[in-house]
């Protein structure tokens, strides 16, 4: 594979996600992360001519790819799925039958050197999913103090050498040689991290952390989950594919929290807040899929369904739906 020919993006758990998502052939569905459209195409293939799909993506390249799709049922939006509620309202959509979120970055983003996501290429340290706005990873490393850099690498990369890496970044900056490229950062981390996991480049955790921070991925995930739940009609499905523990923890906790009735012990006669979600399943990729697509190995698909919001009577504190 050459640097100018990015790998074709292979959607992860395509069948499981789409079959779990689509419950009505004439419904309205949201793909919160269009990417290169693998999931969107599969959803459209199941839907009736009267159905509708609204696809979101922050990446201008992904939006351009979506605009080449000739399907009157598809609306593409250049936006983060964090704004799902506001965007759908602006389109006149009051409720949807399903929302799919395929988190993380796509193969074209990883395999396009100038995007700066991968330490396999020497390129500008960009890492923005939306290249039309915002601060690059290089800009962040240029302005942030040592404590802030260490916090990002520790919290978002779970890197135990975060402070040492941050100190080395700042030392280079003070010496007049700021870290501006992927190769410079990868080499710096390799010199700083003294031990590493077998089979993993020492820069993996640092690159993940900076990408998450630059794109505010975890904050947007929390906002997007809340917006998706607000827009789901009763019986509508929420399908989320995550690729690392930080994402999956947020999704798992959100689904668990919204699958419980809330009883306010300070106001025993107040009505119980009904649960809004019902967990459906947790799915891991098959061994065959992982063998065919190694980037699927850490993926987790969680499916939940919007409940009718009915409260059993009499209520007894917190209970599952």
Please report which residue ranges of 8-135 form alpha helices under DSSP H: 14-21, 38-46, 60-67, 84-90, 107-111
Which domains can be identified in the chain, with CATH numbers?
Answer: 14-107+217-306 (3.40.50.150), 131-214 (1.10.150.170)
Task: Kindly tell me if the per-residue pLDDT of 1 is higher than 60.
Answer: no
pLDDT at residue number 13: 95
Contact 127, 180 (CB under 8 A): no
pLDDT at residue number 268: 62
pLDDT at residue number 271: 64
Contact 51, 25 (CB under 8 A): yes
The per-residue DSSP string of 168-182 comes to HHHHHHHTT----BH
Q: What are the distances in angstroms from CA 293 to CA 1, 9, 125, 230, 288?
A: 15, 10, 26, 34, 9
Question: How big is the CA angle at 118 (ends 127 and 76), to the nearest 5 degrees?
Answer: 50
Task: Kindly tell me if the per-residue pLDDT of 316 is higher than 70.
Answer: no
pLDDT at residue number 207: 96
Long-range contacts of 153-157 (CB under 8 A, 24+ apart): 153/205, 153/206, 153/209, 153/210, 154/209, 155/209, 156/208, 156/209, 156/210, 156/212, 156/213, 156/218, 156/246, 157/205, 157/206, 157/207, 157/208, 157/209, 157/210, 157/212
pLDDT at residue number 198: 75
pLDDT at residue number 7: 47
The mean of the pLDDT values for the chain is 90
pTM attached to this predicted model: 0.88
Condensed to tens digits (0 to 9), the pLDDT of residues 8-65 reads 568 899 999 999 999 999 999 999 999 989 999 999 999 999 999 999 999 999 999 8
Q: How confident is the model at residue 104 (pLDDT cuts 50, 70, 90)?
A: confident
pLDDT at residue number 4: 39
Contact 225, 277 (CB under 8 A): no
């Amino acid at each position: 594979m050459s640097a100018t020919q990015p790998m074709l993006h292979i959607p992860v758990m395509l069948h499981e996600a789409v079959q779990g998502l689509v419950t009505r052939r004439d419904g309205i569905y949201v793909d919160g992360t269009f990417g290169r459209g693998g999931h969107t195409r599969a959803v459209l293939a199941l839907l009736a001519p009267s159905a509708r799909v609204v696809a979101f993506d922050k990446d201008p390249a992904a939006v351009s790819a979506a605009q080449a799709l000739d399907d009157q049922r598809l609306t593409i939006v250049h936006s983060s799925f964090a704004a799902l509620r506001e965007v759908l309202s602006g389109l006149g959509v009051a409720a949807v039958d399903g929302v799919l979120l395929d988190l993380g970055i796509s193969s074209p983003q990883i395999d396009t050197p100038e995007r700066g996501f991968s330490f396999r290429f020497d390129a500008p340290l960009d890492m923005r999913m939306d290249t039309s706005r915002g601060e690059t990873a290089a800009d962040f490393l240029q302005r942030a103090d040592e404590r802030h850099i260490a916090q990002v690498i520790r919290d978002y990369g779970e890197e135990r050498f975060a402070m040492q890496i941050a100190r080395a970044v700042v030392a280079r900056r003070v010496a007049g040689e700021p870290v501006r490229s992927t190769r410079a950062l990868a080499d710096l981390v390799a010199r700083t991290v003294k031990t590493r996991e077998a089979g993993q480049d020492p820069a993996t955790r640092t690159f993940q952390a900076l990408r998450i921070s630059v794109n505010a991925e975890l904050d947007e995930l929390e906002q997007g989950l809340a917006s998706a739940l607000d827009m789901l009609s009763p019986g509508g499905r929420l399908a989320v594919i995550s690729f690392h523990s930080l994402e999956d923890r947020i999704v798992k906790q959100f689904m668990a929290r919204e699958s419980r009735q809330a009883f306010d012990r300070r106001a025993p006669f107040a009505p119980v807040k009904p649960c809004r979600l019902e967990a459906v399943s947790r799915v891991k990729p098959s061994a065959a899929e992982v063998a065919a697509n190694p980037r699927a190995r850490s993926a987790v698909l969680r499916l939940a369904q919007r409940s009718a919001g009915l409260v059993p009577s009499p209520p007894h504190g917190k209970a599952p739906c």
